[in-house]
Amino acid sequence: MQDTRFGDFGGVYAPETLMAPLEELEQAWRTLRADAGFQAEMQSLLQHYAGRPTPLTHAERLSDELGCELWLKREDLLHTGAHKLNNALGQCVLAKRMGKTRILAETGAGQHGVATATACAKLGLECVVYMGEVDVARQKPNVLRMELMGARVEVVRHGQRTLKDAINEAMRAWVSDPQAHYVLGSALGPHPFPSIVADFHEVIGREARAQVLDQAGGLPDLAVACVGGGSNAIGLFRGFLADESVALVGVEAGGEGPETGRHAARFSGGTPGVLHGCYTWLLQDADGQIQHTHSVSAGLDYPAVGPEHADLQARGRARYEYATDDEALQAFAALSEREGILPALESSHAVGWVMRERDVLQGKRVVVNLSGRGDKDLGTIMALRGGSAADGADASEVVA
């Protein structure tokens, strides 16, 4: 293997039984990324099936209220409702060309699971998705969507019963299944996954850069995105890495506040360590035991962050802030009521940070990656408001 790290971070911390599949994957990826036929197939799928390019929308009313020029990269308008389809299509086409017949995936908020089930249905592949029991309860619509597209959803009932545990089970299944390919959903894990996922999401940043130059007449002052594992953020950031004038800001899940211990802000409360195959920033105790996380968003409560983000932070090219549950919920309401856009609770964290920092962002041009739409979160929103939603999660499930 080559180029396995981003600075000090990344690497391949995997059991011996996974080394051969990882090496096979790296070789196929390096070969096919330079293959004109593969690139043409991907371009066709992204344009004619997924719906790229996605628009860049000027949030005029919210901009007037905040005093900054706010632009939204509309990954919520991609087929299936989130950025996840970029990577799912890419990896499933890659797997099919490798001769794999079965796809394994993990999911937290459900969007990666839905995207993978979608890609498998389109390409004629068997699909198994691992999902924690807590996330199944608060993301029931996405579970149904996966099942309707023919995927089998395996519910993980141990540990914290969220994304970390789903990844554990998917990796365990991959070890024993040579006919399968594991479609990891975020820019983390052992090499080559962080690079593969980031490559397939780079289209977000390339489009956003061209669109903001065309529509706003210049580059943004800031590019902002929420960061769980970090796939949507690295996709946006890669479009602006060479533009030193553009500040890159990743927004983590602050939960109830880092000081409470109930959060998923790795850069605010974590230390470097190894989890799920790579060396990166994560939430762990003094003995190296992984700490529990909390977020109102099912997609952000992961205890580690992708290694490329860890490197960007170490080099000072990007900075990582957080938004709390309350700030994300306020942003969800503001964007819904001012712009007629229901954002995913993940994306709401990025908007929530912008709203909190409005005083220092006066007059700035800000591009926020709206990584997904909020349909999947309506049960959570209604429960927190004290209302009801058909088959929605109850309050105890929401805050688990």
Tell me the CATH number at 88.
Answer: 3.40.50.1100
Is there a single domain that holds both residue 272 and residue 380? Answer: yes
Distances in Å between the alpha carbon of 326 and those of 265, 345, 381?
A: 15, 11, 12
Domain boundary among 169, 193, 217: 193
Question: Per residue in 16-36, is it b (16+ CB within 10 Å) or e — as a string?
Answer: eebeebbeebbebbeebbeee
Is there a single domain that holds both residue 70 and residue 133? Answer: no
Is there a single domain that holds both residue 104 and residue 67? Answer: no
At 395 the pLDDT is 29
Host domain of residue 101: 5-47+83-193
Annotated catalytic, 371? yes
Q: Give me the number of domains the chain comprises.
A: 2
Is there a single domain that holds both residue 94 and residue 63? Answer: no
Is there a single domain that holds both residue 183 and residue 63? Answer: no
pLDDT level of residue 109 (50, 70, 90 thresholds): confident
Domain boundary among 176, 193, 210: 193
Q: Is the pLDDT of residue 388 over 70?
A: no
Is there a single domain that holds both residue 148 and residue 287? Answer: no
Annotated catalytic, 164? no
Is there a single domain that holds both residue 88 and residue 75? Answer: no
Q: What is the mean pLDDT of residues 177-206?
A: 96
Q: Exactly one of 84, 96, 140, 376 is catalytic; name it.
A: 84
Q: Exactly one of 195, 297, 348, 371 is catalytic; name it.
A: 371
At 174 the pLDDT is 94
Q: Is the pLDDT of residue 227 over 90?
A: yes
Q: Is the pLDDT of residue 167 over 90?
A: yes
- In this structure, which long-range contacts are made by residues 15-23, counting pairs with CB atoms below 8 Å and at least 24 apart in sequence? 15/175, 17/175, 18/171, 18/174, 18/175, 18/190, 21/174, 21/178, 22/190, 22/191, 22/192
Q: Is the pLDDT of residue 389 over 90?
A: no
Is there a single domain that holds both residue 381 and residue 270? Answer: yes
pLDDT level of residue 1 (50, 70, 90 thresholds): confident
Is there a single domain that holds both residue 276 and residue 189? Answer: no
* pLDDT tens digits, 39-50: 999 999 999 999
Q: What is the mean pLDDT of residues 94-118?
A: 96
At 179 the pLDDT is 85
Q: Exactly one of 26, 69, 75, 106 is catalytic; name it.
A: 106
Q: Is the pLDDT of residue 60 over 90?
A: yes
The CA angle 111-189-174, to the nearest 5 degrees, is 80
At 197 the pLDDT is 98
At 387 the pLDDT is 60
Is there a single domain that holds both residue 228 and residue 111? Answer: no
> Using CA atoms, how far apart are residues 260 and 118, in angstroms rounded to an integer?
39
* pLDDT tens digits, 311-350: 999 999 999 999 999 999 999 999 999 999 999 999 999 9
Is there a single domain that holds both residue 90 and residue 166? Answer: yes
Q: What is the mean pLDDT of residues 205-220?
A: 99
Is there a single domain that holds both residue 186 and residue 42? Answer: yes
* DSSP string computed for 216-261: HSS--SEEEEE-SS-HHHHHHHHTTTT-TTSEEEEEEEEET-GGGT
pLDDT level of residue 397 (50, 70, 90 thresholds): very low
Domain boundary among 163, 193, 223: 193
Q: Where are the alpha helices (DSSP H) in the chain?
A: 16-32, 36-45, 60-66, 84-97, 111-123, 133-138, 140-148, 163-175, 193-216, 231-238, 266-269, 307-315, 325-339, 345-356, 378-385, 395-398
pLDDT level of residue 298 (50, 70, 90 thresholds): confident
pLDDT level of residue 386 (50, 70, 90 thresholds): confident
% of the chain surpassing 90 pLDDT: 92
At 340 the pLDDT is 98
At 391 the pLDDT is 45
Q: What is the mean pLDDT of residues 163-176?
A: 92
Annotated catalytic, 23? no
> Using CA atoms, how far apart are residues 207 and 145, in angstroms rounded to an integer?
28
pLDDT level of residue 149 (50, 70, 90 thresholds): very high
